[in-house]
Every structure is written in C-alpha cells, then in structure tokens.
Amino acid sequence: MEFKVGGVEVVLMKGDITEVEADAIVNAANSYLEHGGGVAGAIVRKGGAIIQEESREWVRRHGPVPVGGVAVTSAGRLRAKYVIHAVGPRCGVEPIEKLGEAVRNALRKAEELGLSSIAFPAISTGIFGCPYDAAALQMAQAIKEAAPQLRSVRRIMVVLYGEEAFQKFIEVFKKTI
C-alpha cells in the first residue's frame, strides 16, 4: 500500500524489517540500547554483534537515550548504511505522543545523514505494549507533519510484522495521511 505525502513516498508493507533494503533501518530500542527481544533482537542476530557493541559505546559516551530520542550505529550485515535506534514509550508508563517524537527525531536524523530511504517497524507495539491503532495514528501524524520539510528522504517504509498489524496500519494511514 503506497501513499504520497508532500512529495515523499510512504509505503506500508508486511514482512521482516531485517530483510528490507533501506539507507536506514529503524530499531525499536530501549533507553539502554540493550537489544534483547523483538525487532531489536532480530536486528542484532541478522546484522551482527557490532550493532550491540556500538550501541553500548554510544550509551557509555552519551548516557541513556531519552524516551522519544534516537541514536545511530552502523548496520553490520543488514542491507542498510545505518541503524537508527528509536526509543518509543512503554504504554501506560509514558505518553503515547513520545512515539510521534521518536518518529520525527528518526526522520530528522536521516535528513542530517543525507539519506534517501528509511524503514520503520511498528515501534512500541510489542514488548512496550501499545495498541496498533494508537501507534499507527502517532506514526501517520508524525510522517504527515514532517514530510513537507524533508529534502533528502524520499521514501519512508513502515514494515509490519503479521496481517493484523498490517491491516490496522492501512486503516489508520488511509484516514490520516
């Protein structure tokens, strides 16, 4: 499913984000960049231990990543130049609006790096417990708001794991974007 927003192509797809080719793959991380389960675990397994090592180095230098914030590492063996680690909110603990902030910060970072494509997972909808529809709304609004300002980023992919997430995201993006 494809949308065009402010000249930027937005593509919703179903699948495994570690298989996707993009200049940056976004990780659904925690503040300590300790990549255990979920997308984070899959990214380190497929991309290699270098991603976890660089993540620890990042935290040693800068301290924990705030909720809504991002950090960048290389992408190891993934088909990407960078992994942008975005920390989404834990639903019921931090406000869901922090998810929109994480998406805006990831897009800003991709612009700074001069990247043309970026792939997001459904941040916060696994271990962090946010419902698909609320998360999709945050992502769609953040993308819609940021798109007209993007110069280098031309293609934004949102990679959904499973049919239920895919259908929910399509429904919300159709209404919002």
- State the first-to-last Cα distance of the chain, in angstroms, to the nearest integer: 12
Among 5, 8, 17, 150, binds ligand AR6 (CB under 6 A): 17
For 73, the token pair is: 């590492």
CB of 46 to ligand AR6, least distance (A): 8
Task: Name residue 45's amino acid.
Answer: R
Half-sphere exposure of 29 (CA within 13 A, CB side): 33
Rounded to whole angstroms, the Cα distance separating 117 from 107 reads 10
Closest among 27, 105, 112, 118 to 69, alpha carbons compared: 105
Choose which of 3, 128, 169, 173 interacts with ligand AR6 (CB under 6 A).
128
In 30-122, the DSSP E strands lie at 70-74, 82-87, 117-120
Q: Nearest distance from residue 6's CB to ligand AR6, in Å?
A: 25
Q: Which is nearer to ligand AR6, 17 or 22 (CB)?
A: 17
Q: Which is nearer to ligand AR6, 88 or 100 (CB)?
A: 88
Is residue 38 near ligand AR6 by the rule CB under 6 A?
yes
> Binders of ligand AR6: how many residues, by CB under 6 A?
25
Which residue from 8, 28, 44, 80 is in contact with ligand AR6, where contact means CB under 6 A? 28
Residue 40 interacting with ligand AR6 (CB under 6 A): yes
Site for ligand AR6, residues 73 to 102, rule: CB under 6 A: 88
- Contact map string, positions 132 to 161, toward ligand AR6, x by CB under 6 A: ---------------------------x-x
C-alpha distance from residue 125 to each of 78, 146, 161, 163 (Å): 23, 22, 10, 14
**10 binds ligand AR6, rule: CB under 6 A:** no
Cβ neighbours, 10 Å, residue 9: 15
Contacts with ligand AR6 by CB under 6 A lie at 16-18, 28-30, 35-40, 42, 88, 121-128, 159, 161, 165
